[in-house]
Chains A and B, each alone.
Chain A
Amino acid sequence: MIKHGPCIALVGAPNCGKTTVFNWLTGSRFKTVNYPGATVEYALGSLQPALGSGLRFMDTPGVYGLNPKSADEEVTYRALFDRDGVVRVDGVVVIIDGTQLQRHLPLVLTVLATGFPVMVVATMADLLAREKLKVDWAVLSRDLGVEVIPFEGLLGGGLTQVIAAAKRLPPRSVVRPPSTQLVDYQQRAGKLVRAAMKDVEDFAGKQRHLTATTRRLDRIFLHPFLGLLLFFLIMSGLFTSIYSLAQPLMDAVDWFFSTAGDTVRSLAPEALWSDFAARGVIASFGAVLVFVPQIFILFLGIGLLEATGYLARAATLIDRPLSALGLTGRSFVPLLSGFSCAVPALMATRNIPSRRDRWITNFILPLMTCSARLPVYALLLSFLFQDRPAWQAGLALTVLYVGAMVVGALTASVLNRFIAKDEASRLLMELPLYRRPRLRVTVRQAMTRTWGYVRRAGPVIFVIAVLLWWGSNFPNYDLPDQGVKLEQSYAGRAGRWLEPLVRPLGVDWRVGVGLISAFAAREVFVSTLALTFHTTNEDEATQTQGLLQAMKGATFADGRPVFTPASVVGLLIFFMIAMQCMSTLAVAVRETGSWVFAWSQLISFNIVAYVLAVVAVQSLRLLGW
C-alpha cells in the first residue's frame, strides 16, 4: 500500500497529456485503486525514487469541467470531493495543453474556486517552442495566483520544476464543489490569454502552422470515400496481424507447456503427483497463457492507434453507421477493445455520457469476438478444414468475426427499439493533433493491460482447469482404461447427465463436459476436450495435434463420428454467440450495478446461441453433412 506523503491529483481535459505527466512522475509504476462499493477505479502512484520521495500522485479520467456528465467524470469528481474516498486529495495539478490556453484555462479557474491548493502544468511546451509561440508563463502565473510550469512530454523537460512546485503546495483546508457560471470563467480566460501572449506575433498564422499537418492528414483520413476505405484497411490490418503475429506465438506457448508437461510426467510416469503436476497444474497454466499473445497484440495495436490520435477519427467515421443502431461513435473504442477482451472493454464504456447508450454497448460487448474464442475457433476450424487450403480456414474465420458483429448490430437495433433515447446521446468528439506515438510507453501500457487481464481472469481459469483435472480423474483414479475411468468420473457423470441437451447439437457427453467448463471461461474448452478425448498417445508435437487426431477418431457407441461438419459448425455458432465467461459476468455486474443486467445477458445470449446452433446442426444434417 502506497502511503507516503501528500496525494496530488492530476486533473485535466482529455488529450491534454495528463497521463504522460503521470507516467513521468511515477515511472509508470502505479496501482489501480478501487473505490469501495462502486465502479470507480483510479491510478495511484508514488513519485519515482530517482526523482525524490514523499509525494503521491493520482491520475483521474479526463474532464471538461467539474459538473460530471459521464461515469468517467463522476470518478474525478468523487475522487476530489467525496469525504470517505479511498485517498484524501491534498492538492491538485491542473494539466492544460499549452497550445489550447483559451479552451483549457476555464478549468483551471473552476478548480481554483474549489479551495484546493492548485498548481498548473502546461504541456506541449515543445510544440510551442517549435512554433515560436512565446507564452509569458510568469505573467500567467501572477495573474492566476498559482505556479504555472511548462512541460514537454517527449523528453520530460520541466519535470524537476513540476516536482519542486508540487512540494511547495500549501496544506489543504476546506474545499467545496464549484458553483459559479462557466461564462465568467470563459471571459476571464480570454483576458488571461491575451496578457500572457501579448508578445506573440501573428498568433493566428502560427496556430495555422501548428495544425497544418493534422489538417492535411485529415483531408485523407476523414475523406468521404478514402477515409472509410482506409478505416477498413487499418482495422483489417489490425486483425490480420493477430494471425500473422499471434498465431506463431500461441503455437510456441502451446508447444512449451506440452513439452513441460510431458517432461514432468516422464519423471514419474505412474505417480499421481506427476499427473497432477503435468496435466493439472502445467496444462492449466498453459490454458491461461496461450492466448496472452493475442490479447497483448490487440492492446498494443489499439494503444498505438489511440496514441497517434487516429481512433478519434475512426470513431467519427463510424458514428453515422452506429447511429443507425441507436449508438454513437463513442461506442466504437470499447467495442473494438472487446475483440481483445470484454473485461477492459466494459470499463472503457465509462466515458459514454448516455446511460442508455452505455447499457446497450455493454450488452452487446460480449458478442465481439474476444481472444478467448480464438483457441476454440482455431481447433474447430483446423478440424473442419484439415485437408483444405489454408486460405479457406482464414476465410471461415473472417466469416465468424463478421457474423458476430452482425449479430451484435442486430441485437443493438432491437434494443434500440425498446429503450427510449436519452438526450445525453452525443458525439461531441475532440480530434486531437496527430502525433507520433511513443513506442516504449505504448508497449508498457499494453503490457500493464495484458497483465491486468491475466491477474483477473487467470486465477478463475486456473482453478477451473484444476477442478476439471480432478473431476475427470476421480473417483477411480487407478483404472487402467482411460476411457472407462473418464466415464465413471465426476466430470463424466455430469457430462452424461447433460447428454440429452447436447445430443441435438450432434455431439456427445464428452463435448458436453467441455461446454460446461467453457461456461466459466471459453479457453478452457480446448484443454477440457484434451482431457475427455485425449488418449495416452504422446507422440504428437503439440497437444493440439494429438487432440485433432483424437477428434477424428471419436465416435458414438454406434460408430458414427462425433465431429462432423454439421456438429462442428454447430459448436462454432454456439461459441460465437454464447456468453461464457465468469470474469465478464462479474465485471458486468460491477459496471452496471445490476445483477439483472448480467443475468439477462447471460441467459438470452446462451439460449439464442443454443437454438441457432441446434437449427444449424439439424439443417446441415438434412443436407447430408
Chain B
Amino acid sequence: MQKQSLSRFVVESLEGPPALVERLGEMGFFPGVVVEMGKRLPFAGPWILHLESTSFALREEEIAALKIRSL
C-alpha cells in the first residue's frame, strides 16, 4: 500500500475470504462507494480510512480485500 494521506478512491470490487467480503459489505464497503484513505499507524499498524461520515481502522489484510481505483 502506498503511503498517501487523504486521497480519494472508488471501490471497484471486493476480493478475499467470503466472510471478510461479506462483513466489509455489511459495514458499507461495496462497489461504487468512495473512500478517503488516511494514514497508517506506526509499526505496520492499522490503516485509517473514511467512508461517508465515519472513519474506520482496518488491518492491512482487510484493506487488501478492497480493490480500489483512484479518483
Contact = CB atoms under 8 A, between A and B. Distances in A.
Nearest to A66: B26
Contacts of B28: 100, 102-103
A141 interface: no
B56 A190 contact: no
A126 to B, nearest CB: 14
B57 A432 contact: no
B24 interface: yes
Interface string B43-71: 11110101111111111001000000000
B46 A100 contact: no
B1 interface: no
B27 A320 contact: no
Contact of A64 (B23, B41, B59): B23
Nearest to A218: B55
Given A100-B52, A211-B53, A423-B19, A320 B26 contact: no
From A99, A320, A329, A432, residue with most partner B Cβ within 10 Å: A320
Contacts, number: 113
Contact of B17 (A106, A423, A431): A423
Given A426-B62, A431-B55, A320 B41 contact: yes
A511 to B, nearest CB: 45
B8 to A, nearest CB: 10
From A64, A103, A424, residue with most partner B Cβ within 10 Å: A103
Say whether chain A's binding surface is mostly helix, strand, loop, or mixed. Answer: helix
Contacts of A90: none
B23 A426 contact: yes
B30 A186 contact: yes
From A186, A312, A317, A424, residue with most partner B Cβ within 10 Å: A186
A427 B48 contact: no
Contacts of B52: 99-100, 102-103, 207
A522 B35 CA distance: 50
Contact of B26 (A106, A207, A424): A106
Given A69-B19, A183-B25, A190-B32, A430 B56 contact: yes
A61 to B, nearest CB: 14
A600 to B, nearest CB: 29
B46 A316 contact: yes
Nearest to A204: B34
A429 B53 contact: no
A428 B58 contact: yes
Contacts of A222: 39, 41, 48
A38 B10 CA distance: 43
Nearest to A104: B28
Contacts of B45: 316-317, 319-320
A446 B70 CA distance: 46
B56 A429 contact: yes
Given A106-B26, A320-B46, A428-B24, A329 B57 contact: yes
B27 A67 contact: no
Nearest to A423: B17
A308 interface: no
Contacts of A570: none
A272 interface: no
From A107, A210, A218, A225, residue with most partner B Cβ within 10 Å: A218
Nearest to A209: B53
A163 interface: no
A428 B62 contact: yes
A329 B48 CA distance: 14
A317 B43 CA distance: 11
Contact of B25 (A186, A224, A319, A427): A186
A12 to B, nearest CB: 12
Nearest to B27: A64
A482 interface: no
A439 interface: no
Interface in A309-333: 312, 316-317, 319-320, 323, 328-329
B54 A100 contact: yes
B59 A103 contact: no
Given A224-B42, A319-B59, A320-B41, A431 B19 contact: no
Contacts of A207: 52-53
A427 B33 contact: no
Contact of A428 (B27, B30, B51): B27
A67 B43 contact: no
A182 interface: yes
A601 interface: no
A76 to B, nearest CB: 13
Interface in A168-207: 182-183, 186, 190, 207
A383 to B, nearest CB: 42
A100 B53 contact: yes
A428 B43 contact: no
A492 interface: no
A375 interface: no
Interface of B: 17, 19-20, 22-28, 30-33, 39, 41-46, 48, 50-59, 62
23 contacts: A65-B26, A99-B52, A102-B28, A102-B52, A103-B28, A182-B22, A182-B30, A183-B25, A215-B55, A320-B43, A329-B46, A423-B17, A424-B19, A426-B20, A426-B62, A427-B62, A429-B46, A429-B58, A430-B56, A431-B48, A431-B56, A431-B57, A432-B54
Given A319-B59, A428-B56, 20 more contacts: A100-B28, A103-B51, A106-B26, A182-B30, A190-B32, A211-B53, A218-B55, A222-B41, A224-B39, A312-B57, A316-B46, A319-B57, A329-B46, A423-B19, A424-B19, A427-B59, A428-B24, A429-B56, A429-B58, A433-B54
Interface of A: 64-65, 67, 69, 99-100, 102-103, 106-107, 182-183, 186, 190, 207, 210-211, 214-215, 218, 222, 224-225, 227, 312, 316-317, 319-320, 323, 328-329, 423-424, 426-433
The 4 A-B pairs with the shortest beta carbon distances in the complex, nearest first, are: A103-B28, A64-B26, A316-B57, A65-B26
